[in-house]
Amino acid sequence: MQITLNGQAHTLPAALSIAELLAQLGLTGKRVAVERNQEIVPRSAHASTVLAEGDHVEVVHAIGGG
Amino acid sequence: MTAQPFDKPLTLAGREYQSRLLIGTGKYKDLEETRVAIEASGAEIVTVAVRRTNIGQNPNEPNLLDVISPDKYTILPNTAGCFDAVEAVRTCRLARELLDGHDLVKLEVLADQKTLFPNVVETLKAAEELIKDGFKVMVYTSDDPIIARQLAQMGCVAVMPLAGLIGSGLGICNPYNLQIILEEATVPVLVDAGVGTASDAAIAMELGCEAVLMNSAIAHAQHPVLMAEAMKHAIIAGRQAFLAGRMPRKLYAQASSPLDGLIR
């Protein structure tokens, strides 16, 4: 299954949940925020939100800035 | 007698702060330098940017928020790099999710890369949308008193005019505009951007700003940690001088020592 992850094409082995995607990326428990098709996916919904073909997913974190 | 009892804490969005220096976390050599500089500055509010996580890179590399703990500091996410209201609002929503519902944000919508001057039209649009969505907005803006007034009337919790262009270090380029903004301020006015060295920060405070936000002046100093400490003192000195009220300027000398009793 193809999604766009942080602007790049990304192949998933199956229809994963957000929580599973984060686990696959090694980001479980990290301070990140997730947006799916321009809608925030709250942390409490990561496990129940299943990705679909063509989804646009953004995973962001905090970095240094002024 | 100390000057402290004369002052009140800085109040932003209903929370009190002892420090009137807000600092950014960008442009430091590494996270350790960031941490030590923030500590030396005494700042209680620090800004961060929100960016895409690098997919496929070492997920175990230290995270800024592990070093700058939200338990210890008020984290002020910014919308730096946003050039329209839609991007800025989206970034704030991500930041709120990232920080577990923390809704204080620094809104900046920029107009072009060369000046990083605020796009006030988009800034006004974004501020309105964010306030409607429950955010507490500290807004970076030009030193235009009319726009500053509109942003305050709209419900921004702080108005933050530039002193000079972001990262320019040129200091307070137009103190007269700042004076007009300060004279009619109904919300805290902070100088954001342009400060180059300690005296600039002191001047901003002497003009009556509630606080100063800076990043490059510290991060790009030859010795950032030393400059962070210098800024702490400058902010305190400037604030105390403001509260003390400066003497009037005179064209001619006025002797400090009495003229009576001189030996002739």
> Domain boundaries in chain B?
18-244
Please give the Cα distance from B248 to B83 (Å, whole number). 44
Structure tokens at B228: 């962070």
Contact status of B249 with chain A (Cβ, < 8 Å):
no
Q: Which CATH superfamily is domain B18-244 in?
A: Aldolase class I (3.20.20.70)
| B205-236 confidence digits (pLDDT tens) | 999 999 999 999 999 999 999 999 999 999 99
In this complex, is the C-beta atom of B98 within 8 Å of any C-beta atom belonging to chain A? yes
What's the first-to-final CA gap in chain A, in angstroms?
Answer: 38
Class of CATH domain A2-61: alpha beta
According to the 3-state scheme, what is the secondary structure of chain A?
A: CEEEECCEEEECCCCCEHHHHHHHCCCCCCCCEEEECCEEECHHHCCCCECCCCCEEEEEEEEECC
Q: What ranges do the domains of chain A cover?
A: 2-61
Which SS3 state, helix, strand or coil, does residue B212 take? strand
Task: Summarize pLDDT for B31-85 with one digit per residue, the tens.
Answer: 999 999 999 999 999 999 999 998 877 667 778 998 999 999 999 999 999 999 9
Work out how many CB contacts closer than 8 A connect A with B: 110
What is the SS3 assignment for B22? strand
Of B232, B234, B241, B236, the C-alpha closest to B206 is B241
Q: Does B186 touch chain A (CB under 8 A)?
A: no
Q: What angle do CA A42, A46, A49 make, to 5 degrees?
A: 105
Considering only the beta carbons, identify the residue of A30, A33, A38 that sits closest to B63.
A30
Q: ipTM of the predicted structure?
A: 0.94
For chain A, which ranges sit under pLDDT 70?
Answer: none
How distant is the Cα of A28 from the closest Cα of chain B, in angstroms?
10
